């Protein structure tokens, strides 16, 4: 009999034979079915292709000249193909809460990051930004106000005051918004407007990938989320093919104005006010397709949708 050094068990991915377990054998063993061998073996092997019984020396398909050579490999490949034909299902994310920090994309209220609500600004943050210093709490307007109505009343009064100022800026049709709250007269001649536009183009910042022919140069004033007298402001250029919503996102980012339009209530969302026409721009409109021209002024107002009933 041939000495046995192969371990028992299931066939490996590279073997066409399986060593037969003791319980499958009679007490006298099994004879090798290869016609030129017929050797008695107490621990024979079964070919996974032709299902024949063979000794150690003839266990492979090649040595016993298997009539169904490769059958086991074809069955294995068919099983692998069948199992791989089903696309791997991505894990479903049931939680869409996101850290309120502008630069953080961490999902909160999960097992990994439970989320922490700041008692000052009433927003939820991940563990990294839970401290007031980490999310610059002093510069943020409390979300929704505090219970009791006092904070909500103050927020509405602030909004009404800002809305009244903006209407004044629109009627004045000047660049007072970029110079402060006090309107200052400016020459309205074509030469003066050209000079102002050239100055604006030199100081404006924006995405360098925007083609020069498509650049729309604007004065931008942001909503003040603190008790500062002057709101943030700057000169920027945008692609005149962009939607108003994209312009708002880019302007808010450059002025460091908190933008929570994608997950906040209407009283916390930003809207763009066009000073020259005295109108609010719709998010879905193309910024350069309407009345907005280079040299004009736009203002980011928070909560204006409440006043407009939108």
What digits encode the pLDDT tens for the residues 249-264?
999 899 888 888 887 6
Is the pTM higher than 0.75? The answer reads: no
Q: Among 141, 158, 181, where does a domain finish? A: 141
CA distances from 12 to 6, 59, 115 (A): 12, 14, 48
- Residue 182: inside a domain: no
CA distances from 245 to 236, 242, 248, 284 (A): 16, 8, 5, 7
- 246 in the same domain as 220: yes
- Residue 286: inside a domain: yes
Mean pLDDT, to the nearest integer, of 56-66? 85
66-98 per-position pLDDT tens digit? 888 888 888 888 877 765 555 555 544 455 578
pLDDT over threshold 70, residue 115 = yes
Q: Are 60 and 17 in contact (CB under 8 A)?
A: yes
- 258 in the same domain as 207: yes
- Residue 175: inside a domain: no
- d(CA 217, CA 231) in angstroms, rounded, equals 20
- Residue 34: inside a domain: yes
- Residue 66: inside a domain: yes
DSSP state of 272: E
- Residue 240: inside a domain: yes
Q: Band the pLDDT of 103: cuts 50, 70, 90.
A: confident
- Residue 158: inside a domain: no
- 298 in the same domain as 196: yes
- 95 in the same domain as 73: no
More confident residue, 70 or 18: 70
- 95 in the same domain as 74: no
What is the tally of structural domains in the chain? 3
Range of the domain at 45: 30-78
Q: What is the CATH number of the domain that holds 56?
A: 4.10.1110.10
């Amino acid at each position: 009999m041939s000495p046995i050094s192969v371990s028992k068990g299931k066939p490996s991915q590279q073997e066409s034979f399986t060593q037969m377990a003791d319980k499958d054998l009679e007490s006298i063993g099994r004879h090798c079915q290869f016609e030129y061998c017929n050797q008695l073996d107490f621990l024979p092997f079964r070919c996974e292709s032709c299902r024949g019984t063979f000794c150690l020396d003839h266990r492979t398909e090649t040595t016993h000249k298997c009539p169904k050579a490769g059958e086991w490999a074809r069955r294995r490949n068919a099983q692998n193909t069948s199992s791989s034909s089903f696309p791997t299902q991505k894990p479903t994310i049931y939680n869409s809460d996101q850290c309120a920090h502008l630069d953080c994309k961490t999902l909160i209220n999960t097992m990994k990051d439970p989320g922490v609500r700041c008692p000052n600004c009433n927003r939820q943050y991940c563990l990294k930004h839970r401290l007031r210093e980490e999310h610059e709490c002093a510069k943020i307007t409390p979300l929704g106000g505090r219970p009791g109505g006092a904070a909500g009343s103050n927020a509405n009064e602030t909004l009404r005051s800002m809305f009244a100022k903006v209407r004044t800026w629109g009627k004045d049709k000047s660049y007072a918004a970029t110079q402060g709250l006090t309107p200052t007269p400016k020459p309205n001649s074509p030469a003066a407007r050209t000079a102002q536009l050239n100055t604006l183009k030199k100081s404006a910042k924006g995405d360098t990938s925007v083609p020069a022919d498509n650049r729309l140069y604007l004065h931008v004033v942001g909503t003040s989320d603190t008790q500062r007298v002057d709101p943030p402001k700057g000169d920027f250029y945008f692609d005149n093919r962009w939607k108003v919503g994209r312009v708002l996102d880019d302007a808010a980012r450059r002025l460091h104005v908190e933008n929570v339009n994608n997950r906040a209530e209407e009283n916390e969302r930003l809207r763009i006010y066009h000073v020259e026409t005295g109108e609010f721009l719709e998010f879905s409109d193309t910024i350069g397709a309407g009345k907005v021209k280079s040299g004009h002024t736009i203002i980011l107002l928070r909560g204006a949708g409440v006043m407009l009933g939108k």
